[in-house]
Chain A
């Protein structure tokens, strides 16, 4: 039996970045699928892992097309008619099949690169012993990361192409400031808008920052999306244009209030029919990004605002991250 290790060697730690780059490259690869190679990978996967007989493989442009094809195939449509049926579904509309409630695919293809990278590192760098038959299965599984999403059905396997474009920022996060960060080709307009790794609505990416309105900010329910709004809109612009400073950390002597640079701002001018709308401005201690979040009109100073944030409890902050 192998000895349990509790620590990686310096050499193993140094090798990690090589694996990160290797698998980021596989996970974000946008090459079009080669039909012969795709069929070979799928047939081995069916045989070695699913313990099923090989079937024909049909490739579609994106996950939406692939799901519609799954619905047709499950409905008894002949394999050689699937492409035409899917095209007809999007071009002419077809209410004869139910495509609601999509099911997540059986195998994630390139989207599983992060998982496979873990095993790849530990098998090849740390020397985890894997029996030959399991190693063969792992290699088949690993090869599926060359493909898009995979739906193995009884008599056909539906495979989606990978995205045609994946845009990352310098930090390796999905990000694009002037269009979709992820695009797929084909029917269904499958695009994803993302800023700094946060999936955001199209309007937040496509609206020039000078045309963004504070009303839009209040439509956003998600804190991460709101942070991206504030980052694009500019916190100083947001508060200078619409706010009036009510209270500041400088009036107090609290270590973490100082570090977070807590301030209370009245944003009433951004709302109709509201005479006082206090908002708490604070600095994320890890990312150093500003956050602005609303507190109720009952808060006349920072003490009230922070107490309300804590559900009415009189807490002293001992650490923030």
Chain B
């Protein structure tokens, strides 16, 4: 009888330890992300900007059918900026078509034509994508850089 009780206690302890372990790992990822990603930092991949962000409550999941998502498209050369998509990498669309990503595993932003821009690692976290601006002196207005 005592042995049975001990077994239950040990099992409960193991489950508790497992839970703590999972919690520690989850917190480690969050703390690691916060330490390594200052919320004012930006990664520039050509004209594409990638920066730590928060997922808006109104953002909706974006279905990715292939191995990657185009986060900044190239109208003429086809040299799109893409992020590799796999389990643990989830994309969302916010207002105005802004793309967000939540990843629990590292992924990469890269170009279809790899020689134009090297790939950059994106650590686990929440990221927002944008495009740098340029000024048009003929229309006297700012616009997204196009390639």
Chain A interface (Cβ < 8 Å from any Cβ of B): 171, 197-199, 218, 221-225, 256, 271, 274, 277, 284-287, 293-296, 308-311, 313-321
B51 interface contact, C-beta 8 A = yes
Contacts of A274 in B (CB 8 A): 137
Of the listed stretches B5-13, B39-47, B60-68, chain A binds B39-47
Report the count of interface residues on B (CB-CB < 8 A). 36
Most buried by A among B77, B113, B138: B77
Count A-B pairs with CB separation below 8 Å. Answer: 94
Known contacts: A222-B146, A223-B47, A223-B145. The answer to whether A317 contacts B42 by CB under 8 A is yes
| Contact between chains at A287 and B115 (CB < 8 Å) | yes
Of the listed stretches B21-29, B86-94, B126-134, chain A binds B126-134
Please, how many angstroms separate the alpha-carbon atoms of A198 and B133 in the complex?
Answer: 22
Q: Could you list some 26 contacts between A and B, CB below 8 A?
A: A171-B115, A197-B77, A198-B76, A221-B146, A256-B44, A274-B137, A285-B118, A286-B115, A293-B134, A294-B137, A295-B134, A295-B135, A296-B135, A308-B133, A309-B132, A309-B134, A310-B132, A311-B130, A315-B40, A316-B38, A316-B41, A317-B44, A318-B42, A321-B45, A321-B46, A321-B117
Contacts of B119 in A (CB 8 A): 321
**Separation in Å of the A127 CB from the closest CB of chain B?**
22
| Contact between chains at B51 and A315 (CB < 8 Å) | yes
The 10 A-B residue pairs whose C-beta atoms are closest, nearest first, are A315-B42, A318-B41, A223-B147, A321-B118, A296-B135, A294-B135, A320-B44, A321-B117, A309-B132, A319-B43
Please, how many angstroms separate the alpha-carbon atoms of A122 and B138 in the complex?
Answer: 51
A-facing mask of B44-84, CB < 8 A → 1, else 0?
11110101000000000000000000000011110100000
Please, how many angstroms separate the alpha-carbon atoms of A171 and B116 in the complex?
Answer: 12
Please, how many angstroms separate the alpha-carbon atoms of A315 and B74 in the complex?
Answer: 24
Contacts of B47 in A (CB 8 A): 223
